[in-house]
Amino acid sequence: AQLDTLDIIVLAALLLGTVAYFTKGTYWAVYGDPYGNSLAASNGAAKAGKSRNILERMEEQDKNCVVFYGSQTGTAEDYASRLAKEGHSRFGLSTMVADLEDYDFDNLDKFPDDKLAVFVLATYGEGEPTDNAVEFYEFIGSEDVAFSEGGSIDDKPLGSMKYVAFGLGNNTYEHYNSMVRNVDKYLTKLGATRLGAAGEGDDGAGTMEEDFLAWKEPMWAAVTESMGLEEREAVYEPNFEITEKSDVDAESTEVYLGEPNKNHLEGSQKGPYNANNPFIAPIAESTELFTAKDRNCLHMEIDVSGSNLSYTTGDHIAVWPTNSGKEVDRFLNILGLASKRHTVIAVKSLDATAKVPFPSPTTYDAAVRYHIEIGAPVSRQFVSTIAQFAPNDELRAELAKLGGDKDYFHEKISDRQLNIAQFLEIASGGKPWEQIPFSLMIEGLLKIQPRYYSISSSSLVQKNKISITAVVESLEKPGSPHILKGVTTNYLLALKQKQHGDPNPDPHGLNYAINGPRNKYDGIHVPVHVRHSNFKLPSDPSKPIIMVGPGTGVAPFRAFVQERAAQAKAGQNVGKTILFFGCRRKDEDYIYQNEWKEYKEALGDNFVLHVAFSRDGPKKVYVQHQMANYADELNQLLDQKAYFYVCGDAANMAREVNTLLGKMIAKHRNVSEQKGEEIVKAMRASNQYQEDVW
Ligand code: FAD
């Protein structure tokens, strides 16, 4: 297989990691600061000097339970931490959390029978492993899996291993929870014994958290029985020690005020830029594609010249967000930390196997603003844990009730879309919750996640400028005292407003610190990295393509059409290019209207745009209706092996398009609907049908 840049970076980092391992103590500090420099913060080398031998690591740290995670957006990692924490506090297990990419697996055949392995595995995209689980998945699923002791699968090499497994998936995807299902199958086949059922959480149904909570109680019962454990009264033990350094000035050069790693702290950002090391990119241009009463849509041009960041059409760009000042203030106020917001704190892990999720020393303000996902939905388990730190008995009882009663919790918290600080504020009437340890907030809330955007420009046309097309999130729920404001998209909106002359942009009073730590993002900059995807145009431009992308789902298709128009202009033979786009109204949110005309000039009759307006006429028209209207033409193109692409809403649209296509094919080819579905499946398997959905 061809190596892309990311592979090369990963391989280089792994090689460095190996070198580092064999030279440990000579050139590297064994448990160095993972944020020490950008290279050390990238894959593999981040853990320079740490053994990749999980059994050795468990032995060395006296652990009898390892919780492995395969995580893309941080949720699986969070669940893994929660299981580790609970295993220790409730059942006395000596637990550790392990990133799957940090270890080798060839010695799992020596996994001791008095220890426990836990697997928390998210399924990504089309049934794929998360980036950090690729190697593990390939190893464990291999036909001739090679363990250190040799032997074949029939010898049951994992006969001594006990494990539990939970998967995070989305039922709107075809390969629902395939990671946990397959890994469970492989482990069983290799002779390992599962305790309890393999759990499955469903993000598509919005029940992930409840699925997790419902799965874990019987799982713990099976574990306690099998391992002869006894439940004890859970006492909270912090993972992190927070030391306030009142003698250190927040402006001192060694204090991280939001800089993601040491290079950034020292003021000279250095590549390679990746998921651990963002490039602070200038925003070359920003506009609003439309501004309606309750929605607006941004178009931005991010300049990556000189960064060595490269993309190909169809890739994703990740934007590293900053929390809004409004929510940072709320959070610090309700914890009673507002007056100490600029106090310097050193955060140290109390367990060598737990990572501090951000660089230290820092300040409360910087940790909350740049590193903790304070706006996210609140988990029921977290509310239970906080109960013991309530300011009075009444609130303690209320939180315990919320933790124990699913329906009550939904009514009071989830259905109102409250974040943690909004909830605590309402619950106590604004009285601060001063007893909640800051460590608990670091452990219980997610690390802030970069948000992905399907790049809406062609790398052929603008190699160094990456376009983003994003709708600004603003969700009003009846019964909620707060309008939910998307973290990243409102941050981007503030940047756009600043670029257009507003020196203190403040959309909705959110008050973003858009100049970044120590003003390093001044002059309209945003931290980004690029993620390569498999969503790709056919390499031969003469092949016909069909694209379905309503709303911002059109983003990558703007890139596709832009690319094909450029190819046509350059005299290349470009095939039929059909786009189904949908929006509410012609004069409201019909984005890129003028550009389509331009592309049409270059592509002529080979470019056809079918638009569906859902609110313009008496009848709601969606892209699916338009597809049905042009069924004959679509079928003919599919017969000619046209590539078929869908982008946008995973929950409804993408699934409906899939079903509809199966039916259209069945009718056209005069086969059963089941056969039609199978044809679509085969198209997916051969990459003729590609999805980029969220
Ligand atoms: P967030 O703050 O992350 O909120 C997002 C949603 O989470 C809210 O709408 C709400 O449903 C839920 N939520 C947040 N907080 C709470 C709470 N307290 N309680 C309950 N629910 C809550 N978007 C685009 O506009 N254009 C694109 O081209 C695009 N491409 C994408 C490609 C990929 C591969 C992926 C994975 C996503 C893509 N997205 C795209 C979506 C994008 O990544 C972001 O999710 C989106 O912009 C919202 O980000 P945000 O930070 O503004 O909102």
Report the C-alpha gap between 169 and 204 in whole angstroms: 8
User: Ligand 1 pocket test: which of 298, 692, 694 has the largest number of ligand atoms within 8 Å of its C-beta?
Assistant: 694
At residue 211 the predicted structure's pLDDT band, cuts being 50, 70 and 90, is very high
* Burial class, 390, CB count within 10 angstroms (exposed 0-12 / middle 13-18 / buried 19+): buried
What is the tens place of the pLDDT at every residue in 534-564? Answer: 999 999 999 999 999 999 999 999 999 999 9
CB half-sphere exposure, 412, CA atoms < 13 A: 20
Q: Which residues have a catalytic role annotated?
A: 454, 647, 692, 694
What is the tens place of the pLDDT at every residue in 35-77? Answer: 433 333 333 334 446 789 999 999 999 999 999 999 988 899 9
Please work out whether the CB of residue 417 comes within 6 Å of at least one atom of ligand 1.
yes
At residue 496 the predicted structure's pLDDT band, cuts being 50, 70 and 90, is very high
At residue 150 the predicted structure's pLDDT band, cuts being 50, 70 and 90, is confident
Residues carrying CATH 3.40.50.80, the chain? 545-693
Q: Could you say which DSSP state residue 358 is in?
A: S
Report the C-alpha gap between 331 and 371 in whole angstroms: 13
Residue 154: the pLDDT is 87
What percent of the chain has a predicted confidence (pLDDT) above 70?
Answer: 93
At residue 262 the predicted structure's pLDDT band, cuts being 50, 70 and 90, is very high
Q: Which residue's alpha carbon is nearest to atom 8 within ligand 1?
A: 486
What spacing in Å lies between the alpha carbon of 89 and ligand 1's midpoint?
A: 34
Select the highest-mean-pLDDT range: 142-146, 169-173, 407-411: 407-411
pLDDT at 136 over 90: yes
Ligand 1 atom closest to Cα of residue 417 = 19
What is the tens place of the pLDDT at every residue in 593-648? Answer: 999 999 999 999 999 999 999 999 999 999 999 999 999 999 999 999 999 999 99
Residue 355: the pLDDT is 87
pLDDT at 18 over 60: no
Q: Which residue's alpha carbon is nearest to atom 6 within ligand 1?
A: 486
Length of the chain (residues) = 694
Report the C-alpha gap between 461 and 454 in whole angstroms: 16
Q: In the numeric block, which tokens belong to residue 416?
A: 């109102």
CA 135, distance to chain mean position in Å, is 19
Closest C-alpha among 219, 203, 242, 274 to residue 87: 219
Q: Is the CATH code 2.40.30.10 the one for domain 275-322+450-531?
A: yes
CB half-sphere exposure, 516, CA atoms < 13 A: 21
Mean pLDDT estimate for the chain: 92
Ligand 1 atom closest to Cα of residue 488 = 51
DSSP H or E stretch at residue 646? strand 643-648
pLDDT at 303 over 90: yes
At residue 104 the predicted structure's pLDDT band, cuts being 50, 70 and 90, is very high
Question: Average pLDDT of 9-35?
Answer: 39
What spacing in Å lies between the alpha carbon of 5 and ligand 1's midpoint?
A: 27
Closest C-alpha among 219, 232, 274 to residue 531: 274
Residues carrying CATH 1.20.990.10, the chain? 240-263+325-444
Report the C-alpha gap between 385 and 623 in whole angstroms: 46
Residue 49: the pLDDT is 63
What spacing in Å lies between the alpha carbon of 452 and ligand 1's midpoint?
A: 9
Q: Are 239 and 350 a contacting pair, CB within 8 Å?
A: yes
Please work out whether the CB of residue 74 comes within 6 Å of at least one atom of ligand 1.
no
Residue 354: the pLDDT is 86
pLDDT at 152 over 80: yes
CATH class of 63-227: alpha beta
Q: Are 351 and 239 a contacting pair, CB within 8 Å?
A: yes
Please work out whether the CB of residue 482 comes within 6 Å of at least one atom of ligand 1.
no
Closest C-alpha among 80, 56, 58 to residue 68: 80
pLDDT at 263 over 50: yes
Residues carrying CATH 3.40.50.360, the chain? 63-227
Q: Are 456 and 559 a contacting pair, CB within 8 Å?
A: yes
pLDDT at 1 over 50: no
Report the C-alpha gap between 45 and 272 in whole angstroms: 13
Closest C-alpha among 207, 239, 313 to residue 537: 313
Residues carrying CATH 2.40.30.10, the chain? 275-322+450-531
Ligand 1 atom closest to Cα of residue 468 = 28
Please work out whether the CB of residue 694 comes within 6 Å of at least one atom of ligand 1.
yes
Please work out whether the CB of residue 439 comes within 6 Å of at least one atom of ligand 1.
no
Task: Identify the three-state secondary structure at position 527.
Answer: strand
At residue 382 the predicted structure's pLDDT band, cuts being 50, 70 and 90, is very high
Q: What φ, ψ does residue 137 adopt, rounded to 5°?
A: -65, -45
Please work out whether the CB of residue 300 comes within 6 Å of at least one atom of ligand 1.
no
Ligand 1 atom closest to Cα of residue 491 = 52
What is the tens place of the pLDDT at every residue in 213-231? Answer: 999 999 999 999 999 999 9
Ligand 1 atom closest to Cα of residue 470 = 25
Residue 693: the pLDDT is 93
Interstrand relation of 483-485 and 474-476 (parallel, antiparallel or unpaired): antiparallel
CATH class of 240-263+325-444: mainly alpha
Q: What is the CA radius of gyration of the chain?
A: 26
Tell me which CATH code domain 545-693 carries.
3.40.50.80
Please work out whether the CB of residue 316 comes within 6 Å of at least one atom of ligand 1.
yes
Identify the residue with better confidence: 145 or 455.
455
What is the tens place of the pLDDT at every residue in 429-478? Answer: 999 999 999 999 999 999 999 999 999 999 999 999 999 999 999 999 98
